[in-house]
Structure 1
Amino acid sequence: MSEVVLELNEVAIYQKDNLVLSEVNLTINKGEFVYLIGKTGSGKSSFMKTLYGDLPLTKGEGKIVDYDLKTLKEKDIPYLRRKLGIVFQDFKLLPDRSINDNLLFVLKATGWKEKPKMTAKINEVLDKVGMKTKGFKFPHELSGGEQQRVAIARALLNDPELILADEPTGNLDPQTSVEVMKVLQEINKSGRTILMATHDYALLLKYPSKTLKCDGSKVFEVVQKSV
């Protein structure tokens, strides 16, 4: 019995009053790696925002990591986000503190209390992304690829059931994109589910996986042509 992490039925996604996507039906099971592709403006970001509670779900049925998106209350959103790891295109690291303190900030904000446990967790996630020795550095002292690795480490802090990566390689050069992708692949192999929005088709060819496409206000699965 595969475990469903995300299920949407007849969902419509709105950005204010504009219908962005309609009749969205999809299921993502635990352990899958799924791409979300589509042109800029096709609704990928609005789709992602609906999943982590930034945009309300008003039409259709949606469940994500056991939360009902339709009845999601403002006060539930932080708890939902603890079960999700979110990786943004622009890293969103706090510039005024070290990498360790960036991660500590997240742990404190999500209710961790014991210092030794927090330190151990920070070391563990930085180790997973190959950044264990860089914790004392500040974001501006790291390359873009390193900053994105830290952002992925941050997404892993609360052992998320689903990682939402929104254009995680969007600001990176091709070589660095591949490095970041390898990190995501490793995390997926360890059993984590990943939904990654991207317009980097080279990565799709290099690391083929289930692919959903946003186009013409619909989301549908596309079969990748093997080269």
Structure 2
Amino acid sequence: MSETVLELRDATIYQGDSMVLSKVNFEMKKGDFVYLIGKTGSGKSSFMKTLYGDLQLTEGEGSIVDFNLKTMKEKDIPFLRRKLGIVFQDFKLLPDRTINGNLEFVLKATGWKEKDRIKDRIDTVLDKVAMKTKGFKYPHELSGGEQQRIAIARALLNDPELILADEPTGNLDPQTSVEVMEVLQDINKNGNTILMATHDYALLLKYPSKTLKCDENKVFEVVQRKS
């Protein structure tokens, strides 16, 4: 497997008939942590959706975790998503089951069968986000920050080659955002590759890393000034 987990070459991204981002060139290597920033409506979400198969890439070239985004078929998308961990702004936890139940649901849906292995894997990912004692609770019994930690744990279940975090702190207060960011930083230090869309500039200053910006239909790298 190549060290490149994501590569776009002259990729033009459309939402319906309207062109959102033009001629995007971007490469991500294993172990990178990259921010994707830009105003609301600048194309961050469309960029992310193209990466996990919600929008088709029709112009240019693109590959992600060894899948070709241009030639990928509908039936390939579930297999692509097994190699990705996706963290959304609104957690997307199933309200009618416990945290353990949420995580078990994902593992079973992706082909895990053995109860012991399922339990061990759930314990491992909850431990990584410091939520090991909360598995018996229901989502509504947890704070927003705790729910987002669970969402990160869920993204880690299948040991993804790339984590796509789409505004993971968008619904959280500043203090909780920092806590969630610390979790993402730790996971990255452990070798996980993360692309994080955000408009929380305070986090960028606190945890500087390579940053891409969507603006006026373009995506370009911005160099953060050292304060």
> TM-score interval w.r.t. the shorter chain?
over 0.9
Q: Quote the Cα distance in structure 2 between the aligned partners of 1:222 and 1:2.
A: 26
Determine helix, strand or coil for the equivalent of 1:214.
Answer: strand
Match of 1:221 in 2: 221
- Provide the aligned length of Structure 1 versus Structure 2: 227
Match of 2:95 in 1: 95
Normalised by the length of structure 2, the TM-score is: 0.99
Q: State the 4+ residue runs in structure 1 displaced beyond 6 angstroms.
A: none
Match of 2:38 in 1: 38
Query: In the alignment, is residue 26 of structure 1 matched against residue 26 of structure 2?
Result: yes
Q: Quote the Cα distance in structure 2 between the aligned partners of 1:44 and 1:21.
A: 9
Amino acid at match of 2:77: I
Query: In the alignment, is residue 207 of structure 1 matched against residue 189 of structure 2?
Result: no
Shift in Å, 1:226: 1.2
Q: Quote the Cα distance in structure 2 between the aligned partners of 1:204 and 1:142.
A: 27
Structure 2 gaps of 5+ residues are: none
Shift in Å, 1:2: 7.3
Match of 1:63 in 2: 63
Q: Quote the Cα distance in structure 2 between the aligned partners of 1:208 and 1:33.
A: 10
Q: Quote the Cα distance in structure 1 between the aligned partners of 2:153 and 2:133.
A: 13
Aligned 1:34-183 pairs, distance under 5 A: 34-183=34-183
Amino acid at match of 1:223: V
Shift in Å, 1:156: 0.1
Determine helix, strand or coil for the equivalent of 1:212.
Answer: strand
Shift in Å, 1:128: 0.2
Normalised by the length of structure 1, the TM-score is: 0.99
Instruction: Give identity over the alignment, percent.
Output: 81
Amino acid at match of 1:198: T
Amino acid at match of 1:114: E
Structure 1 gaps of 5+ residues are: none
